[in-house]
Chain A
Amino acid sequence: MYNDKNAQTIVDYIQNFTRKNSLFMLAYGTGCGAIELPATLTSRYDAERLGVRGAATPRQADLLLITGYLSTKTLKRVIRVYEQMQDPKYVIGFGSCTINGGMYWDSYNTIKLLDKYIPVDVYINGCMPRPESVISGFQELKRLIAAGKADGAKKYKENLEWYRENQKKVLKNWPLVEYNW
């Protein structure tokens, strides 16, 4: 184990442990899937027991939920929101729409492959995902964080050029703000 370069150090371990148990998700309902979030957060499913709860602003949030389709107009805001979020930050894609366009696969106004524009850590199956699925998505994300594999934000920084190129293909007339990381 000591020879394994990928092995976590004790510092990583503690860091990931704390991160995974306090996920603040941004309250931004980008699409239909947002309708199951109230149910997920309230009494029957109660996601808060997993350490997941809402945050009002991007700066305070760790977790961005893309709840389904993203219209190009929202994509612009989502990129901005995502870039405003502080590290550590994770993205969960909800349902078919984020994976391959879903039922809006031939719509001129929605993006089809979310991971071409922002990095996605976990995808949840469904149209729309049930609260149980959402909770398994949270669980999967926590597992990835604990294993140090939820590195979407790192990927985004490293491949910023590539992401920017894809974003510009869809978003016209928008001077993309360069944040200092």
Chain B
Amino acid sequence: MSFFDLKGLLRPLTGLSQFGKNPHTKRMDVLGQDTADRYRGFHYNDLNACIGCGNCSTICMNEAIDMVELAAEFNISQDKGNSGLRPRVDYGRCCWCALCVDVCPTGSLNLTKEYDYVSPDANSFLWTPGVDNPYGKDQLSFTSSVETSLMNFERIPMRELEGTERVKSFAEVVLGYNEEEARAEASRCISCSLCTEVCPDHMHIPEYINAIAKGNDDDALRIIYDNNPLPEMCGKVCTRRCEDVCAIAVRGEAVAIRWLKRYATERAQTSDLIKEIVNPEIQEANGYKVGIIGAGPSGLTAAYYLALRGFDVTVFEAKRFGGGMTMYGIPKYRLPMDSLDKQIGYLQKIGVKINFNTRVGTDITFDEIYKKHDAVFIGIGFEKPWKLGVEGEDLENSIPAVEYLRMINNEEIFDVGKKVVVIGGGNVAIDGARVAARHNAEVTILYRRRVEDMPADWEEIEGAEDEGVHIHPQAIPVRIIADESGKKVKAIEYIEAEMVAEEGARPRPVPIEGSNKIIEVDTIIGAIGQEADYSFISEEYVNKIELNRGRIVTNDQQQTSDAKIFAGGDAVNRTADAISAIADGFRAVKGIEAMLLKTKK
């Protein structure tokens, strides 16, 4: 290279060719107005769609997101399934990674195109999305959809018997998760704990699910037994209101809380194993005696926790087996017999005494129980079915569903014939129908309202339909027609109804004139509700216990108007499910403990 490199000196002058071209420079007035459609700017939170699960706050590695209570003027819902808290973002911490958006189960938290904020005040960078930038609603940019979200919205499918297989026997329909499936399903949970509030028993759901996710099934079982002594039963048949409020359920399928509980409990195959794993701490006997009437869920729960706390507990049960309605009211394809036996066996191993075949009022008087014990818990449930209130109801082959189920579960024989009509739309009706279907009957369900109004679980309804049960909605029975002998049922007449919207109430079925139809049947199963039977309590006590429309009135510790008598289960609460009964039993334990141990001091 020569010292004087002419080409090398002149070539850069070609840069002058840019002279006069349009500049790249943006005018000041358009600067900052054109961010991309996916730009990650400030957060915007739809305050009404947000449920306050706090997942954004958990994923934030900068601890930039706090969950705070907003002022009353924002009308933040404080319902169950909504924590009432909303995220607040510290922009002195945020790094705009948008993981909070990708883990938001509801999709309420999004980022906007807005990013420009300067201030001399360092304390002004604490924003509550949606409150401080209401205009952000129209500038949403980085959002999450079900596809892009990091949440897993699809439940791990539960393996089941085929519908046509099922009707052949009473084998359990649901097969349960195996370990791999359970871990995968448990890891879908975001541990927000919104579910615990709707659970009548307030089970520690996020904790035991997390224990399963981490592979510690034993810990999970221990956590479950903390306030539920019949978890396997719950794991199979619970009405699981928890899953309705699951944060994942807002945009997807709820975490299978019930099936996970079932998985955890099924790890312990025998009652000895349960005892070994749960290994509860049993306190020294304190000398108090508690009598419990009815070995249903509420009674057994009370018995278990009282026994753990050192009380001397005796349970009086009229029937051959314990479990109450869960034993006699639930078909065996949902809750096998040995499952309940195992759980009750465990309770007995802990020291609960159960006197079976002892009906209070006949085998032993209420008075005796009352006098012998320091406290009495009544968990008698609703055994007496409601009448249909139509002509011909008392004919042979017209049977209440609870009675029918009790007979079947008690291994008694009741021939339903070829054609069966079930009246009602609750779980009992569906159970009755499905059991009848297992006896090779052609089953029709008549229900006053629409299918979507049925109080039964949708899974149950679907299961019934899979098994060939025909559901006839908007049909009101008018009368039952007897055959020539006048003793047996021959047919049922019903009238079709239309739904009339009513203000402030759910739509009401109104019969359509002249739409009466008659179908021939062999058996009619009525399932429109039950009530309690207090005839065993002698009059002097009945008068002391306050009743309201057939239900015993209690305070929040299940204490009745007689301080020594506590009550729980269907006879007290309206929800009529096992988990509420368990919760009643659990609360009663605290009440009894407070009453007896306080008086001692």
Q: Point out residues on A near B: beta carbons under 8 Å.
A: 43-46, 49, 93, 96, 98-103, 105, 113, 115, 120-127, 130, 132-133, 135-137, 139-140, 144, 149-150
Of the listed stretches B46-54, B110-118, B432-440, B514-522, name the one at the interface; the rest are far from the partner chain: B110-118
Q: B61 near A: Cβ within 8 Å?
A: yes
Nearest residue (CB) in B for A100 is: B92
Nearest residue (CB) in A for B32 is: A132
Q: B214 near A: Cβ within 8 Å?
A: no
Q: How far is the CA of A115 from the CA of B106 in the complex (A)?
A: 38
CB distance from A103 to the nearest CB of B (A): 4
Q: In the complex, are the beta carbons of A45 and B120 less than 8 A apart?
A: no
Q: In the complex, are the beta carbons of B116 and A103 less than 8 A apart?
A: no
Q: B25 near A: Cβ within 8 Å?
A: yes
Residues of B within 8 A of A135 (CB): 31-32
Of the listed stretches B93-101, B494-502, B577-585, B588-596, name the one at the interface; the rest are far from the partner chain: B93-101
Q: In the complex, are the beta carbons of B23 and A120 less than 8 A apart?
A: no
Q: In the complex, are the beta carbons of A123 and B31 less than 8 A apart?
A: no
Q: In the complex, are the beta carbons of B118 and A115 less than 8 A apart?
A: no
Q: How far is the CA of A68 from the CA of B8 in the complex (A)?
A: 41
List the 6 shortest-distance A-B pairs measured between CB atoms, nearest first: A100-B92, A99-B92, A132-B32, A125-B117, A103-B95, A127-B95
Contact of A101 among B24, B31, B92 (CB under 8 A): B92
Q: Which residues 315-339 in B have Cβ within 8 Å of A in the complex? A: none
- Per DSSP, are chain A's interface residues mostly helix, strand or loop, or mixed? mixed
Q: B119 near A: Cβ within 8 Å?
A: yes
Given A44-B26, A96-B92, A105-B63, A122-B31 contact (CB < 8 Å): no
Q: In the complex, are the beta carbons of A126 and B115 less than 8 A apart?
A: yes
Q: Which residues 75-97 in B have Cβ within 8 Å of A in the complex? A: 90-96
Q: In the complex, are the beta carbons of B94 and A127 less than 8 A apart?
A: yes
Q: In the complex, are the beta carbons of B26 and A99 less than 8 A apart?
A: no
Q: B62 near A: Cβ within 8 Å?
A: yes
Contact of B125 among A125, A130, A133, A149 (CB under 8 A): A125
Number of A-B contacts (CB under 8 A): 98
CB distance from A52 to the nearest CB of B (A): 13
Q: In the complex, are the beta carbons of A45 and B125 less than 8 A apart?
A: no
| Besides A132-B32, A133-B118, 10 other A-B contacts (C-beta < 8 A) | A44-B26, A93-B122, A96-B92, A96-B95, A99-B92, A103-B93, A105-B93, A122-B120, A125-B91, A125-B119
Q: How far is the CA of A100 from the CA of B94 in the complex (A)?
A: 9
Residues of A within 8 A of B93 (CB): 96, 99-103, 105
Residues of B within 8 A of A93 (CB): 122
Q: In the complex, are the beta carbons of B122 and A105 less than 8 A apart?
A: no
Residues of B within 8 A of A96 (CB): 62, 64, 91-95, 125
User: Can you sample 15 A-B contacts with CB below 8 Å?
Assistant: A45-B25, A93-B122, A96-B93, A99-B93, A102-B92, A115-B122, A120-B120, A122-B118, A125-B91, A125-B115, A125-B125, A130-B32, A133-B118, A136-B116, A149-B120
Q: How far is the CA of A105 from the CA of B433 in the complex (A)?
A: 62
Residues of B within 8 A of A98 (CB): 92
Q: In the complex, are the beta carbons of A136 and B32 less than 8 A apart?
A: yes
Q: In the complex, are the beta carbons of A43 and B23 less than 8 A apart?
A: yes
Given A123-B120, A126-B115, A43-B24 contact (CB < 8 Å): yes
Q: In the complex, are the beta carbons of A99 and B125 less than 8 A apart?
A: yes
Q: How far is the CA of A120 from the CA of B31 in the complex (A)?
A: 25
Residues of B within 8 A of A121 (CB): 120
Most chain A beta-carbon neighbours within 10 Å: one of B28, B92, B125: B92
Q: In the complex, are the beta carbons of A43 and B25 less than 8 A apart?
A: yes
Nearest residue (CB) in A for B126 is: A100
Q: Beta-carbon contacts of B433-460 to A below 8 Å, as 1s and 0s? A: 0000000000000000000000000000
CB distance from B502 to the nearest CB of A (A): 53
